[in-house]
């Protein structure tokens, strides 16, 4: 009896799938019977069904194209070492300067957190962008007041204080001013650069102009000659450490099947951070003008570094997966779309792709689903997932699900429709914008290795100590020798 019921269920499933497929084939067979938008929607449904059944049709030519691009995204080891050394020297000296600074004691206990794509090992093309969160601690209890859907907050002290943070309070002596903290960060970095020199003196750091709504002090590394291109960009972001997560973030994503309950409890036990970012909009209240945005960059880094369903994922060649490669490919596609349509996709950024990626990891949680040989399949699934989010105008923030990154306030409907159509076009035409990037020039001259760079300052100091009198003596002997040769001839 049970066997008969089971067989009837299977027959029902087969009939339903056959009817759905037949419906799509019937409509496709009638020229002009379906609008392009409806056709794209049906194609996406078919594609999602194929992926769900682990049998998506990725043509061999497209699969090879995806694999080729994945290889071309890797950063040259020489550039990686050189850039890391330059940035590490800057970071260590800036931290030493802040700790010894007496004019602003609030920054004396600061510590750096390395966040962003480079430190998550998903940076593409070139190691030219670095993010550093400068952790600031307020040694008193704080009150968080939500200003929007759970991302922006007003931060206030529970009671007045005489600790160094008082220099950054508003007139009410309780509300912490984000603009004052960011302005002071700019002042301290500029003061630091007056005395700091890059180990290789042929390069220099320069503070960029303040960008609206940016929580970062951005610096650029240039060669000293005129009209030099930017080589490296560094964002220094002051971030307040808060031990307890606000209510909108406490439920968070469902990662039990992927990371496990124990790992998620460990993550929720970590502090969260707030960066001085102002809410966008006109006629803002005074609270909104001094808003702070919650940041989970350090937790995203932890997830990316331990991304497997099993702890052994990517610990050896035998347990490798293609998760990070898929994210890097998606970032490259987004970059290509923004270069091709800069005006239409101005709101699109790599964080939209990263959010869709994290949601995909929750639904496709088994390591076997991300085996390296399935790279083309997994990447096409990821492209389809972002396309589906755009179609539904729904991309929940991974840690604050009530906040929709594709809401009309965050991403205009016209731009979202354009993104949906552009992704569908890319998927149908074989990802033409996922082309290998133009050869990226080396950050350092071919004659200069990373080891040479680290030794240059030492070599210069040695040369500077050569006695000038000895050099004059050598010059005299050289002149006498030339005179002797002249008279002999």
Please report, rounded to a whole number, the percentage of residues in the chain having pLDDT higher than 70.
75
Tell whether the torsion through CA atoms of 35, 40, 43 and 49 is positive or negative. Answer: negative
User: Is a pLDDT exceeding 50 seen at residue 456?
Assistant: no
User: Is a pLDDT exceeding 60 seen at residue 422?
Assistant: yes
First to last CA, the chain: 119
User: Is there a shared CATH topology between the 76-306 domain and the 311-436 domain?
Assistant: no
Domain boundaries, the chain: 76-306, 311-436
Mean per-residue pLDDT, 401-424 = 95
Strands 152-157 and 272-275: unpaired
Mean per-residue pLDDT, 222-245 = 90
More confident residue, 309 or 60: 60
What is the pLDDT, as a whole number, of residue 461? 37
Average pLDDT of the chain to the nearest whole number: 80
pLDDT tier, 16 (very low <50, low <70, confident <90, very high otherwise): very low
Of 333, 419, 337, which Cα lies nearest the Cα of 379?
333
User: Is a pLDDT exceeding 50 seen at residue 487?
Assistant: no
User: Is a pLDDT exceeding 70 seen at residue 9?
Assistant: no
How is 399-420 classified by DSSP, letter by letter?
S-TTSBTTSTTTS-HHHHHHHH
Nearby residues of 90 by Cβ (< 8 Å), 6 or more positions away:
196, 198, 205, 219, 234
Mean per-residue pLDDT, 212-224 = 93
How is 150-162 classified by DSSP, letter by letter?
SSEEEEEESS---
CA–CA dist 278, 295 (Å, integer): 13
Q: Residue 262: helix, strand or coil by DSSP?
A: helix
Residue-wise pLDDT tens digits, 344-396: 999 999 999 999 999 999 999 888 899 999 999 999 999 999 999 999 999 99
User: Is a pLDDT exceeding 70 seen at residue 59?
Assistant: yes
Mean per-residue pLDDT, 274-281 = 90
Residue-wise pLDDT tens digits, 70-87: 888 877 777 778 888 898
CATH number, domain 76-306: 3.30.460.90
CATH number, domain 311-436: 1.10.1410.40
Strands 232-242 and 129-137: parallel
User: Is a pLDDT exceeding 60 seen at residue 437?
Assistant: no
The distance of Cα 170 from the centroid of its chain, to the nearest Å, equals: 32
User: Is a pLDDT exceeding 80 seen at residue 241?
Assistant: yes
What is the pLDDT, as a whole number, of residue 291? 94
Give the Cβ contact number of residue 131 at 10 Å: 20
Residue-wise pLDDT tens digits, 151-162: 999 999 999 999
The widest CA-to-CA distance across the chain, in whole angstroms, is 120
CA–CA dist 284, 311 (Å, integer): 47
Mean per-residue pLDDT, 215-226 = 91
Answer yes or no: pTM beyond 0.85: no
Report whether 466 contacts 98 (CB < 8 A): no
Helix and strand counts by DSSP (H, E) for the chain: 15, 9
How is 11-64 classified by DSSP, letter by letter?
HHHHHHHHHHHHHHHHHHTSTTSS-HHHHHHHHHHHHHHHHHTT-----HHHHH
Mean per-residue pLDDT, 188-200 = 94
CA angle 355, 142, 181 (to 5 degrees): 75
- Residue the block writes with tokens 């970590």: 270
What is the pLDDT, as a whole number, of residue 470? 44
User: Is a pLDDT exceeding 50 seen at residue 289?
Assistant: yes
How far is residue 454 from each of residues 199, 448, 480, measured CA to CA in Å? 7, 10, 39
CA–CA dist 308, 310 (Å, integer): 5
Q: How many residues does the chain have?
A: 489
Of 304, 313, 309, which Cα lies nearest the Cα of 260?
309
How is 205-240 classified by DSSP, letter by letter?
EEEPPPPTT--SEEEEEEESSTTPPP-EEEEEEEEE
Give the Cβ contact number of residue 170 at 10 Å: 15
**C-alpha dihedral, 298 to 304 to 310 to 315, nearest 10°:** -110
More confident residue, 470 or 305: 305
pLDDT tier, 190 (very low <50, low <70, confident <90, very high otherwise): very high
Residue-wise pLDDT tens digits, 91-144: 999 999 999 988 889 999 999 987 655 555 556 667 788 889 999 999 889 999
Mean per-residue pLDDT, 221-235 = 88
Residue-wise pLDDT tens digits, 297-341: 888 888 887 777 777 788 777 778 999 899 999 999 999 999 999
Residue 95: φ, ψ to 5° = -65, -40
For helices 450-464 and 77-100, give the axis angle rounded to 10 degrees.
50
Least confident piece of the model among 84-88, 173-177, 261-265, 403-407: 261-265
């Amino acid at each position: 009896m049970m066997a008969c019921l089971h067989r009837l269920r299977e027959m029902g499933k087969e009939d339903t799938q056959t009817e759905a497929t037949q419906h799509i084939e019937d409509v496709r067979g009638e020229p002009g019977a379906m609008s392009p938008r409806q056709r794209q929607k049906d194609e996406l449904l078919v594609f999602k069904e194929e992926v769900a059944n682990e049998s998506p049709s990725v043509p061999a030519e497209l699969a090879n194209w995806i694999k080729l691009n994945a290889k071309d995204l890797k950063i040259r080891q020489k550039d990686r070492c050189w850039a890391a050394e330059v940035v590490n020297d800057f970071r260590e000296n800036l931290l030493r300067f802040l700790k010894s600074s007496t004019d602003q004691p609030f920054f004396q206990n600061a510590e750096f957190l390395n966040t962003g794509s480079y430190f998550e090992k998903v940076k593409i093309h070139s190691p030219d962008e670095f993010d550093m969160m400068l952790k600031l601690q307020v040694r008193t209890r704080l009150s968080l007041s939500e200003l929007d859907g759970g991302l922006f907050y007003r931060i206030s002290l529970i009671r007045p204080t005489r600790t160094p943070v008082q220099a950054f309070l508003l007139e009410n002596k309780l509300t912490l001013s984000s603009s004052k903290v960011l302005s002071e960060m700019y002042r301290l970095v500029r003061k630091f650069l007056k005395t700091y020199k890059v180990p290789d003196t042929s390069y220099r750091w320069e503070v960029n102009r303040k960008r609206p709504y940016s929580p970062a002090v951005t610096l650029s590394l240039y060669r000293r000659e005129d009209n030099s291109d930017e080589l490296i960009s560094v964002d220094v972001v002051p971030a307040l450490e808060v031990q307890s997560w606000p209510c909108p973030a406490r439920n968070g994503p469902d990662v039990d099947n992927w990371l496990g309950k124990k790992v998620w409890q460990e993550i929720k036990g970590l502090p969260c951070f707030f960066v001085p970012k102002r809410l966008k909009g006109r006629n803002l209240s005074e609270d909104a003008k001094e808003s702070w945005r919650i940041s989970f960059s350090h937790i995203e880094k932890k997830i990316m570094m331990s991304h497997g369903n099993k702890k052994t994922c990517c610990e050896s060649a035998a347990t490798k997966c293609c998760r990070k490669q898929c994210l890097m490919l998606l970032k490259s596609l987004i970059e290509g779309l923004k270069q091709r349509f800069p005006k239409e996709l101005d709101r699109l950024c790599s964080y939209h792709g990263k959010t869709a990626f994290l949601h995909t990891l929750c639904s496709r949680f088994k390591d076997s689903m991300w085996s390296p040989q399935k790279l083309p399949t997994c990447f096409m699934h990821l492209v389809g997932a972002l396309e589906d989010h755009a179609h539904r105008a729904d991309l929940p923030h991974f840690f604050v699900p009530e906040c929709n990154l594709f809401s009309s306030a965050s991403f205009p409907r016209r731009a979202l429709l354009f993104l949906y159509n552009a992704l569908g076009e890319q998927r149908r035409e074989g990802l033409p914008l996922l082309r290998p990037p133009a050869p990226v020039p080396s950050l350092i001259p071919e004659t200069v290795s990373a080891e040479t760079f680290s030794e240059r300052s030492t070599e210069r100091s040695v040369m500077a100590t050569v006695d000038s009198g000895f050099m004059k003596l050598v010059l005299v002997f050289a002149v006498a020798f030339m005179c002797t040769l002249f008279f002999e001839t």
